[in-house]
């Protein structure tokens, strides 16, 4: 990999009181790549992605985006830098349709001389743009104006991922995207992740489902007790080794 990574984390340290949640963690993700972040509960995966998403701040270490060092000190900064995160709770508005969900908090509206809250929405523009993203990712939903609350778990996950993809110029971070889904809906979300990768996005996926990781991820980074303990190309053959890295037993 000679190209500059989209994101490179070097020697990241995060402490919560006396607990070291991240202990000199380094990793890099390239465009068009899916990186799986593996590890048991408490390994530091969530802390790491929350630092990238601007929820937590690093105590030490650097983050470079496309080779440029940045400080990510709030969720808004992360979003402005092109990093979008889909948490397990999805942060969807069940009472709104997909287009309104896509643009919640960043509505397309005018005229520009009015204060933002008084501007009039441009629902047509928002719907067209939303449908274009959904079509691109081949997400199929019930009829257009239906609220997200009427959708299945998989469809909701797809809307949340597509929303992240639409606004992420650099990286999409997915926290357990298939955890709450049945086999068929997991299938379509995995297909969606592959399409994100094929569009040239860098994707970081946290998952406990090794089968799914093997299917979609190019690399798997394993964390244990706040450290990166190994990196593997996730394949069926490597599966036992990955498992032993996760649980910390001797291979």
Partner 1 sequence: MGSDGSEHRAPRRHRLLESGLVFLRVGPAIGLLILIVILAQLSPAFATTRNIGNLLAQSAVICVLAIGQLLVIVTRGIDLSVGSTLALGTVTGALAVTAGLPTPIVILVMLVTGAAVGAVNGIFYVYGRLPHPFIITLATLSVARGLALWLSDGQPIQGMPDQIRVIGGEILLGWLPVSTIVVAAIALGALLLTTRMVWGRWIYAVGGNPEAALRIGIPVGATLVSVYVLSGLMAGVGALLTAGRTGAGAPTFGSLAELDAIAAVIIGGASFLGGRGHVGNAIVGALMIGVIRNGMNLLNVDSFFQPMVIGVVIVLAVEADVIRNRLEQRFRLMQALS
Give residues in contact with partner 1 (CB under 8 A).
75-76, 89, 91-96, 100, 104-107, 109, 116-121, 142-143, 149-155, 182, 185
Q: How far is the CB of 136 from partner 1 (least distance, A)?
A: 21
41 vs 143 by CB, closer to partner 1: 143
Minimal distance, residue 204 CB to partner 1, in Å? 19
Cα(240)–Cα(126) distance, rounded to whole angstroms?
A: 47
Which of 28/168 has CB closer to partner 1?
Answer: 168
Give the shortest CB-28-to-partner 1 separation in angstroms: 27
Q: Which is nearer to partner 1, 17 or 111 (CB)?
A: 111
The least distance separating partner 1 from the CB of residue 3, rounded to whole angstroms, comes to 32
- Torsion, Cα of 37, 38, 41, 46 (10° steps): 0
Taking the C-alpha atoms of residue 56 and residue 83, their distance in angstroms, rounded to an integer, is: 14
Nearer to partner 1, 20 or 96 (CB): 96
Nearer to partner 1, 120 or 233 (CB): 120
For partner 1, the closer CB: 1 or 118: 118
Closest CB 93 distance from partner 1, rounded Å: 4
- Contact residues for 58 (Cβ-Cβ < 8 A; gap 6+): 12, 13, 14, 22, 51
Minimum distance, C-beta of residue 74 to partner 1, in the bound complex (Å):
10
């Amino acid at each position: 990999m000679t190209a500059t990574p989209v994101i490179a984390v070097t020697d990241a340290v995060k402490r919560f009181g006396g607990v070291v949640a991240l202990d000199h963690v380094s990793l890099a993700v390239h465009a068009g790549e899916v990186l799986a972040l593996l590890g048991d509960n408490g390994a530091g995966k969530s802390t790491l992605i929350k630092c990238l998403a601007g929820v937590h701040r690093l105590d030490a270490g650097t983050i470079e985006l496309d080779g440029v060092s940045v400080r990510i000190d709030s969720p808004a900064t992360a979003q402005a830098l092109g990093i979008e995160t889909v948490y397990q709770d999805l942060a969807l508005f069940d009472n709104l349709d997909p287009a309104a969900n896509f643009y919640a908090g960043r509505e397309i509206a005018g005229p520009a001389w009015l204060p933002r809250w008084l501007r009039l929405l441009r629902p047509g523009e928002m719907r067209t743009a939303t449908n274009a993203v959904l079509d691109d990712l081949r997400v199929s939903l019930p009829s257009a104006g239906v609220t997200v609350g009427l959708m299945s778990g998989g469809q909701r996950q797809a809307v949340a991922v597509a929303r992240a993809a639409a606004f992420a110029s650099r990286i999409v971070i997915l926290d357990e995207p298939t955890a709450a889904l049945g086999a068929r809906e997991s299938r379509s979300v995995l297909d969606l992740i592959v399409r994100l990768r094929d569009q040239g996005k860098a994707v970081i996926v946290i998952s406990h489902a090794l089968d799914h990781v093997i299917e979609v991820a190019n690399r798997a980074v394993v964390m244990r007790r706040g450290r990166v303990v190994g990196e593997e190309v996730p394949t069926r053959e490597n599966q036992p080794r990955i498992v032993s890295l996760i649980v910390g037993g001797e291979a």
